C-alpha cells in the first residue's frame, strides 16, 4: 500500500518514499553465468493418494472449478436456490470465509468465549487459508513445498497487541522470527534476504539474456550498476538514460520549484514521469515496473510518482538535493517494508497453525511451529459433529440475515445442495463485494461502501522439476522477467522451519515459483478499479492449458542453454489463480481523500446487527496483521 507522505514532510526533507532500498547495497558487480547451489526439497513420505488432501493437487488451483460458479450466479445474475434444507445445527458463531480473517475471528471468539463455544466456518474453496495456498509435491521420497499466494510475515513490531497476541498464541513470537531468519538460506532473496544476489532476465535472440548480481540494488545506483545496465539487450541510448537515472547524477525535475515538485509527484503517474522527464522509451518501462507490479499488483501507470517510489520504484536519487537528503531515510523505510520472513509454504503454515488450534483433531500429534510444515492434516476431522468448532469446505454462502428469533440464518450451497444453518452471531470474512448480495437488507450507503474497492488479481505458479541442475547455473535464486508472462521467477522458499528440510544440492528435485500480474500494458483512460476488473476477466478467461504453455516457453527460454528440456524436466505444474486477490488500497490518481470515518471501507465495515465484517477489504490494506485486526474488531462487536 502506498505510504501516506504529507506535504510538510516532503518539504522538511523527511521520508519522501521507500525507493532507496539498498542504495549502497550492491556488494557484488553484475556478472553472468556463475553457478550457485540450487534448492531441493526436504524428505517426507508421500501422502495417501486415496485421501482428500488438497495441497497435493496440481493443475488449476486458487479459484478452482467448483469454487466460484455459485457466487457468480448470485452476484452476476441474482440467482440462488429458492428452497433450503434447514439443518439441525445451531451455533454461537458462524464465520463465512476460512482465510486469515475468518480463522482469526474463530480463534479470537474461541479464546474469549471458551473452547466449548460452537463455531462453524464456511468456505467456498476445497482448502482453508484463503490466499495462503499450500502447494505440496513429492518425488523420490522427498516432499517439496512452495507458496501459492500470501507469503510474508512482516515485522511483529508493526502488529497491534491483539494481532501480535494471536501470533504468539500459535507459536510465532520474536524469538521464532529470529530463528526463521537464521534458518533461511542466505541466497533466498524471495524470503527477505535482500542482500542476496538477484538478477534480471530478458528475451534475446538465443533464449533469455540473464544478468545476475544484486539487480535491485543496481536499480538504485549501487555498486556495478552501470555494468549491469550495459549487459541488458537494449539500445545504447536507452542504456545511457538508465545509467543516468539509476546513478542520480541529474535532477529530472530541476525546472520545478519545491512546491511544484510536490504537486507534480502527487498528480503525475510514475510511468509518465519516466517517459516525459527521464526520457525513457515506453518499451523500457517494464524494466522499472516489474518490482512494482509484484509488490502492489498494479503498474507505474496506476501510481503517482510518489507512490511508485514508496513501492519499490527507483528514482529517489533523481530528485535533486531533496532526494539525496532523504535517501538514507528512504532506504530505512523500504528495508522495514520488505523486512519479511516466511514459511516454506508461505502463510499457509500460519493458517495450519490456526486450524490446529481451533480443531486439534485435524493434526493431533502436531507440536506447532516445530513441525507445522511437515505435519499430516486429516481433512476428514475438519467437520465432525462431535467437535465444538467445525470447518466446512466447498460451501458457498448465498444469504445471510437476521430472523425474528434473534438469530442469524446463513444459507449456503455445498456441492449442489442448498442448506441453512443458524447462529447467535455471524462474521463475514469473505470479500466485500459479495456482501451486498448476501445481505440485500443492508443500507444502500453501506452496500455502496462495500462495493467500492476492487481486489487486485494475480497468479502464482509452482513448477516441479526433476532436479535443480539447470536452474543452479543461472547464478541467483530470483530473476525479474519484465517482458515475460510471469514477471518474477524464483526457487521456492528454502526455509528450514516447521520440520522442513530445504534442498541439499542441484541433484535433488526442486520447485520453481513464478509470479504473474495481468496489470501490464499501455496507459489507459479507465480508472484503476475498471482496469482491475478487466485484469480479473483476463485471469478467469485464461485456461490452464494457456498458462502451462506460457510457463513451458518461458522456462525453456530461460534455462534451455543450461541443458533444460521442459518436456522431460517438468514433472508437475500448479497454477494458483487468484482473481479476487489483494485488498484495494486507495490511489492518488483515482481516489479522493476522505475525512476520517467516511472512506468507503470504513462505511462498509459497520456492524449490521448480529453481523460483523472482517477482512483486509475492511482495512483497505492487504496485510495479514490487518486481517487479524479486522477479526478482532468484528469479534469485539459481537461479544460486547
Q: In this structure, what C-alpha cell is assigned to residue 320?
A: 535533486
- Look at residue 336 and tell me whether its pLDDT is greater than 80: no
Task: Render pLDDT for 219-277 as a digit per residue (tens, 0 to 9).
Answer: 989 889 999 999 999 999 999 999 999 998 889 999 999 889 989 999 999 999 999 99
| Calpha distance 605→507 (Å, rounded) | 52
Q: What's the confidence (pLDDT) of residue 13?
A: 44
Say whether pLDDT at 2 is over 80: no
Q: In this structure, are strands 478-480 and 199-204 parallel, antiparallel, or unpaired?
A: parallel
For residue 328, the model assigns a pLDDT of 58
In tens, the pLDDT along 469-485 reads 999 999 999 999 999 99
What was the pLDDT predicted at 448?
98
Q: Where are the beta strands (DSSP E) in 357-407?
A: 389-392, 395-402
Fold of the domain built from segment(s) 42-47+133-195+455-582: Polyamine Oxidase; Chain A, domain 2 (3.90.660)
Q: Is residue 132 over pLDDT 70?
A: yes
Pair 388, 119: CB distance under 8 Å = yes
Instruction: Average the pLDDT over 354-372 and give the result.
Output: 97
Mean pLDDT across 343-359 = 97
Reduced to 3 states (helix: H, G, I; strand: E, B; else coil), residue 320 is helix
Report pLDDT digits (tens) over 284-302: 999 999 999 988 999 999 9
Q: What is the pLDDT of residues 528-547, one digit of tens each?
A: 999 999 999 999 999 999 99
DSSP 492-558: PP-B--TT-----STTS-EEEEEEE-S--SS--SS-HHHHHHHHHHHHHHS-HHHHHHHHHHHHHHH
Nearest to 120 by CA among 397, 361, 421: 421
Q: pLDDT category, 50, cuts 50, 70, 90?
A: low
Residue 30: partners with Cβ closer than 8 Å, 6 or more residues away: 199, 211, 212, 213, 214, 215, 218, 224, 225, 227, 228, 231
Higher pLDDT, 550 or 315: 550
What CATH number is given for 64-130+347-454+587-639 in this structure? 3.50.50.60
- Domain residue ranges of the chain, discontinuous segments joined by +: 7-30+196-337, 42-47+133-195+455-582, 64-130+347-454+587-639
Q: Which of 456, 515, 462, 453 is CA-nearest to residue 484? A: 515
Amino acid at each position: 500500500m502506498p505510504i501516506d507522505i504529507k506535504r510538510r514532510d516532503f518539504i522538511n526533507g523527511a521520508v519522501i518514499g521507500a525507493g532507496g532500498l539498498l542504495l549502497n547495497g550492491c556488494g557484488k558487480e553484475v556478472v553472468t553465468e556463475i553457478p550457485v547451489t540450487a534448492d531441493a526439497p526436504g524428505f517426507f513420505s508421500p501422502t495417501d493418494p486415496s485421501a482428500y488432501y488438497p495441497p497435493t493437487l496440481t493443475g488449476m488451483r486458487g479459484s478452482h472449478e467448483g469454487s466460484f460458479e455459485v457466487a457468480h450466479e448470485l452476484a452476476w445474475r441474482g440467482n440462488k436456490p429458492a428452497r433450503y434444507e434447514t439443518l439441525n445445527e445451531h451455533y454461537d458463531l458462524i464465520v463465512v470465509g476460512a482465510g486469515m480473517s475468518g480463522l482469526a475471528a474463530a480463534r479470537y471468539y474461541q479464546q474469549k468465549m471458551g473452547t466449548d463455544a460452537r463455531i462453524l466456518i464456511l468456505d467456498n474453496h476445497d482448502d482453508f487459508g484463503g490466499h495462503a495456498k499450500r502447494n505440496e509435491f513429492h518425488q523420490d521420497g522427498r516432499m517439496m513445498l512452495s507458496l501459492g499466494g500470501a507469503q510474508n510475515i512482516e515485522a511483529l513490531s508493526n502488529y497491534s497487541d491483539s494481532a501480535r497476541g494471536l501470533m504468539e498464541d500459535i507459536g510465532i513470537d520474536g524469538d521464532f522470527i529470529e530463528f526463521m531468519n537464521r534458518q533461511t538460506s542466505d541466497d533466498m532473496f524471495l524470503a527477505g534476504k535482500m542482500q542476496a544476489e538477484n538478477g534480471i532476465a530478458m528475451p534475446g535472440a538465443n533464449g533469455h539474456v540473464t544478468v545476475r548480481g544484486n539487480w535491485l540494488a543496481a536499480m538504485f545506483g549501487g555498486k556495478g550498476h552501470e555494468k549491469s545496465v550495459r549487459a541488458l539487450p537494449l539500445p545504447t541510448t536507452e542504456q545511457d538514460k538508465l545509467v543516468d537515472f539509476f546513478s542520480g547524477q541529474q535532477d529530472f525535475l530541476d525546472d520545478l520549484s519545491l512546491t511544484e515538485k510536490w504537486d507534480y509527484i502527487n498528480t503525475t503517474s510514475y510511468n509518465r514521469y519516466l517517459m516525459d522527464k527521464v526520457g525513457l522509451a515506453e518499451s523500457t518501462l517494464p524494466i522499472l515496473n516489474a518490482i512494482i507490479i509484484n509488490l502492489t499488483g498494479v503498474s507505474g501507470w496506476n501510481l503517482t510518482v510518489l507512490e511508485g517510489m514508496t513501492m519499490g520504484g527507483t528514482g529517489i536519487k533523481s530528485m535533486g538535493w531533496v532526494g539525496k537528503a532523504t535517501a538514507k531515510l528512504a532506504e530505512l523505510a523500504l528495508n522495514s517494508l520488505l523486512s519479511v520472513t516466511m514459511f516454506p509454504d508461505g502463510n499457509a503454515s500460519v493458517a495450519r497453525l490456526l486450524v490446529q488450534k481451533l480443531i486439534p483433531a485435524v493434526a493431533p500429534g502436531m507440536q506447532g511451529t516445530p513441525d507445522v510444515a511437515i505435519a499430516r492434516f486429516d481433512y476428514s476431522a475438519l467437520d465432525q459433529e462431535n467437535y465444538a468448532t467445525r470447518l466446512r469446505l466447498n460451501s458457498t454462502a448465498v444469504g445471510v440475515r437476521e430472523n425474528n428469533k434473534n438469530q442469524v440464518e446463513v444459507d449456503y450451497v455445498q456441492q449442489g445442495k442448498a442448506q441453512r444453518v443458524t447462529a447467535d452471531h455471524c462474521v463475514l470474512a469473505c470479500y466485500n463485494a459479495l456482501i451486498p448480495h448476501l445481505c440485500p437488507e443492508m443500507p444502500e450507503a453501506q452496500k455502496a461502501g462495500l462495493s467500492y474497492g476492487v481486489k487486485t488479481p494475480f497468479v502464482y505458479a509452482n513448477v516441479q522439476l526433476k532436479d535443480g541442475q539447470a536452474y543452479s547455473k543461472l547464478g541467483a535464486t530470483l530473476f525479474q522477467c519484465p517482458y515475460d508472462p510471469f514477471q518474477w521467477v524464483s526457487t521456492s522458499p528454502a526455509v528450514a522451519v516447521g520440520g522442513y528440510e530445504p534442498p541439499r544440492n542441484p541433484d535433488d528435485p526442486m520447485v520453481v515459483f513464478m509470479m504473474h500480474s495481468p496489470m501490464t500494458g499501455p496507459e489507459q483512460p479507465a480508472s484503476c478499479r475498471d482496469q482491475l476488473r478487466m485484469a480479473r476477466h483476463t485471469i478467469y478467461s485464461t485456461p490452464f492449458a494457456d498458462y502451462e504453455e506460457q510457463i513451458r516457453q518461458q522456462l525453456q527460454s530461460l534455462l534451455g542453454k543450461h541443458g533444460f528440456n521442459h518436456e522431460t524436466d517438468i514433472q508437475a505444474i500448479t497454477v494458483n489463480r487468484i482473481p479476487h486477490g489483494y485488498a484495494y488500497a486507495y490511489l492518488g490518481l483515482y481516489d479522493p481523500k476522505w475525512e476520517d470515518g467516511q472512506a468507503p471501507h470504513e462505511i462498509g465495515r459497520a456492524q449490521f446487527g448480529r453481523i460483523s465484517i472482517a477482512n483486509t477489504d475492511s482495512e483497505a490494506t492487504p496485510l495479514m496483521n490487518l486481517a487479524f485486526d479486522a477479526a478482532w474488531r468484528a469479534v469485539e462487536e459481537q461479544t460486547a
